[in-house]
Amino acid sequence: MANPGKLGVDVIINNISENPCCIHGPTILFERFHGNGQSRQFYACSACRDRRDCSFFHWADQKIANGKKDLWTKLIKESRQGKSHEAEYKRLEAIKALPASERSYCTSCSVLLGGTEKSSHTSCALIFPITNKQLSHPSTFLPPKESSKLEAQYLFTSNSVDVIIGMLQNLQASRVLCIGAPRIHEAITDTPQLNMVSLLMDIDDRYCSFFSPESCLRYNMFNHHFFDEEKAKNTYKQFITENENLVIVADPPFGGRMELLANDLNKIQNDWRIARGLESETELPVLFIFPYFMEPQVIANLPSYTMLDYQVDYDNHPLYSSGPKSMKNGSAVRVFVNQPRSLFPLPESEGYHFCKLCDRWVSISNKHCEKCNGCMSKDGRMYRHCDLCKKCNKPSWIHCSKCFRCQPQDHKCEVQAGQKLRCHVCGCSGHKRRDCPKRKVSDTTFSEEPKKKKKKKKNKSSYPQSLEEERERNMNIFS
Ligand code: SAH
Ligand code: ZN
Ligand code: ZN
Ligand code: ZN
Ligand code: ZN
């Protein structure tokens, strides 16, 4: 962040549906800031943070050359020529009738195979047999796309699935929109006693092989784009229109831009209000799953939300789960809700308890602070009240006399203090760069397209090595 050439990028929320399209639907308008008070806007893919997953890039101040336009139209067309969801669903019905031993799944071609069909996949990676349980819970055997920045899949433990289902029951949900939450969708569709109907909306098209076109849609949650266009949009509209208790569960990739996720949730809320003829204040209940250290960004973009203390556990996430390799304080992931927190009892068997004063359930080490008048812990540890800061802080932090607040022991005073308060464009304090009076958009002196491969780091995995790194990255994105 000290490098003036690298001040990061803002998202511009405009009428997204009018932006040029890549194969993932309408692109997003971004604004890149340069240290000398200038900035320039460009369009890039909404879903892919890595240019290698989607190469769309276009400076907003330049005309799109015809050749480029044709190329993207062609790519979009090609990307739509995959399997039809109806046909896939028919195959599923036929394969369900076979015994488990005659079912297999080809992970190379992402297709379910029945009987002798596997003989034409001899050089592919096959999974077999496929039991009934696996057919209804594909997330248990589909290889998670962990390395891809596009889909980054981290799956709930069965215990966390139960807790989230319990939250849905407390909200008396009868319809659930599962956005990027296949395990919740699987649990609902396979448990008729719950009396809930679920619609999965996820960008991973492999799920379409296992669920009907009425219960599963390929969807991009960063631009509210339905890959099957009108048909899928109608399925979604119908689902949200019925006179039922609708609840949304969303577990987006954590590197995703919060502004876009909030914009998407607000769009769905709005669609729902219009479809049901509801007042603009009526809130569609949402369980939004995101790390605790993103709380400021979540609340800034979704002001009616609050964070629950429940630590969401993952089967395959080295950093966010509570296993041996994980964070010492357990998972960093929480559930954000736009309903009163008292509606969400948390499992006593895991040490959660009810705080009468706060009227909510909190974690075992979250002790009520009389001075703050609340249970102040965020990360699951017992926080310590600092009389100088007049608030509770992480137990390992110390009060720094240069920064005038509590900070991690190894922090760098000047850098952090200086950056926190100053506008990136003019260097003055009191406003953010977005509101800077000296801000100049679209200066063509920066005409070079960002290099495609050069800036790749050593660390190949899409997930950072530490939580601090993740936080740092998020700060860069959002500053
Ligand atoms: N914990 C969840 C899975 C969360 S992983 C569970 O166990 O059910 C994130 C999910 O979001 C994945 O299913 C992934 O395919 C999906 N996803 C990633 N990017 C997306 C996008 N742009 N739009 C919609 N879904 C997306
Ligand atoms: Zn794209
Ligand atoms: Zn306190
Ligand atoms: Zn302090
Ligand atoms: Zn300091």
Question: For residue 257, what are the contacts with CB-CB under 8 A and spacing of at least 6?
Answer: 11, 28, 222, 477
Q: Which atom of ligand 1 is nearest to the CA of 47?
A: 22
Q: Quick one: which H or E segment has residue 426?
A: none
CA pair distance 407, 394, nearest whole angstrom? 9
Average pLDDT over residues 446-452: 38
Of 50-54, 296-300, 302-306, which gets the smallest average pLDDT? 50-54
Ligand nearest to the CA of 56: 2
**Per the omega criterion (within 30 degrees of 0), is the bond before 129 cis?**
yes
**180 in contact with ligand 1, CB cutoff 6 A:** yes
Closest CA to 331 of 320, 340, 342: 320
Q: What is the pLDDT of residue 453?
A: 39
Could you tell me the two tokens for 363?
Answer: 């974690």
Could you tell me the two tokens for 147?
Answer: 């390395």
Of 288-292, 380-384, 415-419, which gets the smallest average pLDDT? 415-419
- The structure's pTM equals 0.87
Q: What is the pLDDT of residue 206?
A: 94
Q: How confident is the model at residue 424 (pLDDT cuts 50, 70, 90)?
A: confident
Q: Kindly give the distance from the C-alpha atom of residue 368 to the centroid of ligand 3, in angstroms, as a whole number.
A: 8
Q: How confident is the model at residue 341 (pLDDT cuts 50, 70, 90)?
A: very high
Q: Kindly give the distance from the C-alpha atom of residue 366 to the centroid of ligand 3, in angstroms, as a whole number.
A: 11
CA 362 to chain centre: 24
Q: Kindly give the distance from the C-alpha atom of residue 390 to the centroid of ligand 3, in angstroms, as a whole number.
A: 7
Give the residue with greater pLDDT, 448 vs 242: 242
Q: Kindly give the distance from the C-alpha atom of residue 396 to the centroid of ligand 5, in angstroms, as a whole number.
A: 14
Question: For residue 379, what are the contacts with CB-CB under 8 A and spacing of at least 6?
Answer: 292, 293, 329, 332, 394
Question: For residue 326, what are the contacts with CB-CB under 8 A and spacing of at least 6?
Answer: 317, 318, 319, 320
Q: How confident is the model at residue 271 (pLDDT cuts 50, 70, 90)?
A: very high
Q: What is the pLDDT of residue 447?
A: 35
Q: What is the pLDDT of residue 414?
A: 63
Ramachandran area for residue 178 (φ above 0: left; ψ -120 to 50: alpha; else beta): beta
Average pLDDT over residues 183-204: 97
Q: How confident is the model at residue 77 (pLDDT cuts 50, 70, 90)?
A: confident
**In sequence order, which ranges of 97-214 are alpha helices (DSSP H)?**
132-136, 158-170, 182-189
Closest CA to 252 of 222, 232, 226: 222
Is the CA virtual torsion 303, 307, 312, 316 positive or negative? positive
- The 10 Å CB-count burial string (b at 16+, else e) for 426-446 is eeeeeeebeebeebeeeeeee
Ligand nearest to the CA of 399: 4
Q: Which atom of ligand 1 is nearest to the CA of 153?
A: 5
Is the pLDDT at 134 greater than 60, yes or no?
Answer: yes
Give the residue with greater pLDDT, 150 vs 245: 245
Q: Kindly give the distance from the C-alpha atom of residue 385 to the centroid of ligand 4, in angstroms, as a whole number.
A: 8
Average pLDDT over residues 347-368: 96
Average pLDDT, the chain: 85
**219 in contact with ligand 1, CB cutoff 6 A:** yes
Q: Which atom of ligand 1 is nearest to the CA of 220?
A: 23
**256 in contact with ligand 1, CB cutoff 6 A:** no
**202 in contact with ligand 1, CB cutoff 6 A:** yes
CA pair distance 10, 257, nearest whole angstrom? 10
% residues pLDDT > 90 (the chain): 66
Is the pLDDT at 328 greater than 80, yes or no?
Answer: no
Please give all residues whose CB falls under 5 A of ion ligand 4, grouped by chain where several chains appear. 386, 388-389, 399, 406
Q: What is the pLDDT of residue 441?
A: 65
CA 260 to chain centre: 10
Could you tell me the two tokens for 443?
Answer: 């200066």
Q: What is the pLDDT of residue 254?
A: 86
Q: How far is CA 454 from CA 51, 318, 371, 449, 473, in A?
A: 11, 28, 51, 12, 18
Of 134-143, 279-288, 435-444, which gets the smallest average pLDDT? 435-444
Ligand 1: which residue has its CA nearest to atom 13? Answer: 180
28 exposure class (CB count in 10 Å sphere: 0-12, 13-18, 19+):
buried
**176 in contact with ligand 1, CB cutoff 6 A:** no
CA pair distance 290, 308, nearest whole angstrom? 11
Of 120-134, 165-179, 438-452, which gets the smallest average pLDDT? 438-452
Is the pLDDT at 92 greater than 70, yes or no?
Answer: yes
Q: Kindly give the distance from the C-alpha atom of residue 465 to the centroid of ligand 4, in angstroms, as a whole number.
A: 29
Ligand 1: which residue has its CA nearest to atom 23? Answer: 220
CA pair distance 176, 244, nearest whole angstrom? 10
Is the pLDDT at 18 greater than 60, yes or no?
Answer: yes
